Amino acid sequence: MPIEEIYSPTEAKIGQRRILLLGTNNYLGLSFAPECREAAHEAIDKEGTGTTGSRMANGNYSGHRALEMEFAEFYQCLSCIVFTTGYQANLGTISGLIGAGDVALIDGDSHASIYDGCILSGADIIRFRHNDMADLEKRLRRLGERSKNTLIIVEGIYSMLGDQAPLAEIVNLKNAYGSTLLLDEAHSLGVLGETGQGLAEKTKLSSEIDFITGTFSKSLCGIGGYCVSNHPQLDQLRYVSHPYIFTASPSPATIAATRVALRLLRNGSKLREQLWRNAQQLYSHLKIVGYQVGPEPGPIVATILDNPQQALALWNGLLENNIYVNLILPPAAPEGKSLVRCSVNAAHTAEQIEYVCQTFSKLYPSIIQ
Ligand code: PMP
């Protein structure tokens, strides 16, 4: 979908028309925050447009270390490593932590960066059914002694249906079987928890999680990723992790804008309230109208359709009414379903959300027969 011009966190020019954006991961609506733009401009003027190489070979800019320290402080963790993308944060952390002979035990709905990190690691990959704790326990039991060499990997909010991991039960199982736990907070950073740390903060289980990864590309509106941990060995990953070593480090503008965005995120309880108000409104409305939606409300509101034709018709209908959402067809969608996925953000106005609700209502009779 060619986007001709971006006007704001909620509107763009597409096909010569003004379109309402309802398919971004801009959860706090910070993509045009003046403080972040100013910091990025200043960094370009002071340090140039790019670092032109990896931190290992070319050196660390002061901003890289400062951001790592700010993330470590935010999560009250010993260490943080910043990666060039969120994808690489998972790739680099997972492939650095486990290897041949170990086990990666991952949720079936895991993001591709988790799958790819596991493949790169050389560990045995076992999937458990999405959010199914009986299945997770069954697989841990079957592993016997190997459960102690097992890295369980889950996500705070899953990007397809917008549901959250049952973290308390996962923590109990990982403790009972002596495994290690990695939590990807890509979609939950900024969204869950009092200060926006994610699901671990919301559930008060931060101290039970061995490794947390996340991305700058969603709530923080930048590009990059991180891993935080209290394991003193985390920093050793810098010497073994190819996705950290063999790629250029984040640009000065990216780092500077992300540092400011992190401050806004931490103090963003008003933004989080607005985000959740919008999310609740859209989720409840779609449910009342009769659409099948994901299991729980959240900023990702997925409409589940029985077949690709229905999904395509709904997606086209929304676009004809100047609303852009994500279309997800098999095999990308879980269980052979098709999804029309909306994501709301804190910058959507009450009028915009109301317009989206009315449009979904209007389209319902022609889509669901
Ligand atoms: N983890 C999850 C759960 C994601 O959804 C994504 C991106 N969609 C990533 C990691 C990768 O992040 P990035 O796009 O910043 O590389």
CATH number of residue 309's parent domain: 3.90.1150.10
105 and 227 co-located in one domain: yes
Question: What are the φ and ψ backbone dihedral angles of 37, each rounded to 5 degrees?
Answer: -65, -40
46 and 148 co-located in one domain: yes
Q: In sequence order, which residues have a C-beta less than 8 Å from that of residue 203 and are 6 or more positions away?
A: 167, 168
129 and 243 co-located in one domain: yes
pLDDT at 190: 98
Choose one of 198, 232, 266: the last residue of a domain: 266
pLDDT at 335: 80
Distance CA 46, CA 37 (A): 14
- The range of the structural domain enclosing residue 116 comes to 34-266
Residue whose CA lies nearest to ligand 1 atom number 12: 86
Residue among 212, 217, 223 to mutate when testing ligand 1 (max atoms within 8 A of CB): 217
Q: Which of 181, 177, 228, 175 is nearest to 209 (CA)?
A: 181
Q: Please report which residue ranges of the chain form alpha helices under DSSP H.
A: 34-47, 55-58, 62-74, 86-97, 112-121, 133-143, 167-176, 199-202, 237-240, 242-245, 252-266, 269-289, 308-320, 350-367
CA of 265 to the centre of ligand 1 (A): 18
State the total domains in the chain.
Answer: 2
Residues with CB under 6 A from ligand 1: 85-87, 90, 111, 113, 155, 159, 184, 186-187, 215, 217, 225
Choose one of 212, 246, 266: the last residue of a domain: 266
206 and 77 co-located in one domain: yes
Say if residues 321 and 213 touch (Cβ distance below 8 Å). Answer: no
Which DSSP state fits 346? T
ipTM: 0.99
Choose one of 238, 266, 294: the last residue of a domain: 266
206 and 243 co-located in one domain: yes
pLDDT at 300: 98
213 and 128 co-located in one domain: yes
257 and 274 co-located in one domain: no
The region that residue 98 occupies, defined by phi over 0 for left and psi between -120 and 50 for alpha, beta otherwise, is beta
pLDDT at 368: 82
CATH number of the domain residue 158 falls in: 3.40.640.10
214 and 197 co-located in one domain: yes
Q: What is the pLDDT of residues 275-289, one digit of tens each?
A: 999 999 999 999 999
**DSSP 3-state assignment of 196?**
coil
201 and 284 co-located in one domain: no
Residue among 199, 211, 215 to mutate when testing ligand 1 (max atoms within 8 A of CB): 215
Residue among 24, 94, 113 to mutate when testing ligand 1 (max atoms within 8 A of CB): 113
With a cut of 50, list the residues of the chain below it in pLDDT.
Answer: none
245 and 360 co-located in one domain: no
Distance CA 357, CA 283 (A): 9
pTM reported for the whole predicted model:
0.97
75 and 199 co-located in one domain: yes
Q: What is the pLDDT of residues 46-62, one digit of tens each?
A: 999 999 999 999 999 99
Q: Which atom of ligand 1 approaches the CA of 90 most closely?
A: 10
Q: Is 248 exposed, middle or buried (0-12, 13-18, 19+ CB in 10 A)?
A: middle
CA of 306 to the centre of ligand 1 (A): 26
Distance CA 308, CA 299 (A): 23
Alpha carbon 49 to its chain centroid, in Å, reads 26
